[in-house]
Amino acid sequence: MDGGRREPGELQGVCVEIPRRALGRRHATSRIDKNIKRQREDCTVCSASAVPLHERYGARVCRSCLTLFWFAEVLLESDATESEIVPTLAFARHASILWTIRDPQQREATARQLIERYAALDLVGFVSGVPMLRMKPAFVEVIRYEGSSLVKRVRIRVLSRFAEPHVMAELYWNACEREGLPRHKTSPGSLSWDFDRMHLVVDVGPREDIHPARLHQYADYPQVRRFAFPLDTVVEELLRALLGQGQDKNLMFAALLSDLGRNSSMSLEKAIIACVLWDVHGERSERGSTGIQRSEEVAELISQLLLVPLDRERITISRNDTAWRDAHKVSHRLDLCKYLLHSNQVPRQPL
């Protein structure tokens, strides 16, 4: 996916978030140089204190909110699907560094580096400088013995109910190939699973672990049956059983996983407005229930900052306006994407 470059706006300066506790005591004006003096303001959208704020169609917004509306604006003029819209907008507030970069090649390079921090994301392409993303149905990582380069487990993280068991088994097999792990037809190996941080985790290992006192003896993984991993066909059948198949009543762990990619998805405009509306105004209780109140102020704000500039129809608080119901429908998918992004970050490398 690619398209002409669209700038987020002619905006000056870099927005720096300032926690209230970091502001310290106020000094006399005479002690502050006029060239560096800044007045703290609140973002019109999220009410966060930021210096400086930036103009967007008459509103003063922080860099994080500016990036959210920039991503949404580009998406509205794209051909993205719901399975790309939700993860892209879930990622938007993590990507506020991008709009300050004017050079297209540098912006794309920085975006790629940024996306590499999030193991759950797949980059589909770029549209007007904005990365289009999808959540991976599943991904594999290796767990090593402490203080050793030898592999202890191959871990499969299943994020979507639509993850294909044979594809995940292939990912597992490829990891075994890369790491030089032995697999024997008669090796049962070890298999365990858990539902952790809103996704299914399956650990695959050998029948016996290598004793910690013997790890130093091996430069490479020992190619013997007792330390062998199970075949990919065994892993595939286990994953199929754990997920379940067919109707919802027949699902097991799949019922708890993300349903992005389902057949009855929202239209492009509905999905984008719903995500922005939920991000800006949605509420989730400690019990997990969600709700969103119809608000003339919020409806006017989103119309002003996103819809009117693109000649799109305003949202209203009318009972006939489905945007509010759509926001409630998309809430679980958007929140789950945000949570999976946060809980599956790889160690940071400097950009």
Do both 328 and 306 map to the same domain?
A: yes
Domain termination residue (choose one: 210, 234, 256): 256
> pTM for the whole thing?
0.81
With respect to residue 351, please indicate whether it lies within any of the assigned structural domains: no
Do both 144 and 129 map to the same domain?
A: no
Domain termination residue (choose one: 203, 234, 256): 256
How far apart are alpha carbons 27 and 260 in whole angstroms? 52
Average pLDDT, the chain: 86
Do both 23 and 116 map to the same domain?
A: yes
With respect to residue 96, please indicate whether it lies within any of the assigned structural domains: yes
Do both 149 and 237 map to the same domain?
A: yes
Q: How many CA atoms within 13 Å lie on the side-chain side of 108?
A: 14
Do both 130 and 151 map to the same domain?
A: no
pLDDT given for residue 61 in this prediction = 94
With respect to residue 11, please indicate whether it lies within any of the assigned structural domains: no
CA dist 81 → 137, 144, 176, 280, 324 (Å) = 16, 38, 34, 21, 20
Low-confidence ranges of the chain (pLDDT < 70): 1-40, 246, 287-289, 347-351
pLDDT given for residue 27 in this prediction = 37
Do both 179 and 213 map to the same domain?
A: yes
User: Among 113, 177, 163, 171, which Cα is nearest to 141's?
Assistant: 171
How far apart are alpha carbons 12 and 17 in whole angstroms? 16
Do both 63 and 106 map to the same domain?
A: yes
Do both 169 and 114 map to the same domain?
A: no
With respect to residue 10, please indicate whether it lies within any of the assigned structural domains: no
With respect to residue 7, please indicate whether it lies within any of the assigned structural domains: no
With respect to residue 77, please indicate whether it lies within any of the assigned structural domains: yes
Domain that holds residue 228: 138-256
Do both 214 and 274 map to the same domain?
A: no
With respect to residue 301, please indicate whether it lies within any of the assigned structural domains: yes
Count structural domains, the chain: 3
pLDDT given for residue 186 in this prediction = 80
How, if at all, do strands 16-17 and 49-51 pair? Answer: antiparallel
Do both 149 and 125 map to the same domain?
A: no
With respect to residue 262, please indicate whether it lies within any of the assigned structural domains: no
Cβ count near 235 (within 10 Å):
26
Do both 89 and 150 map to the same domain?
A: no
How far apart are alpha carbons 18 and 259 in whole angstroms? 36
Q: Which two tokens stand for residue 100?
A: 């300050």
pLDDT given for residue 10 in this prediction = 41
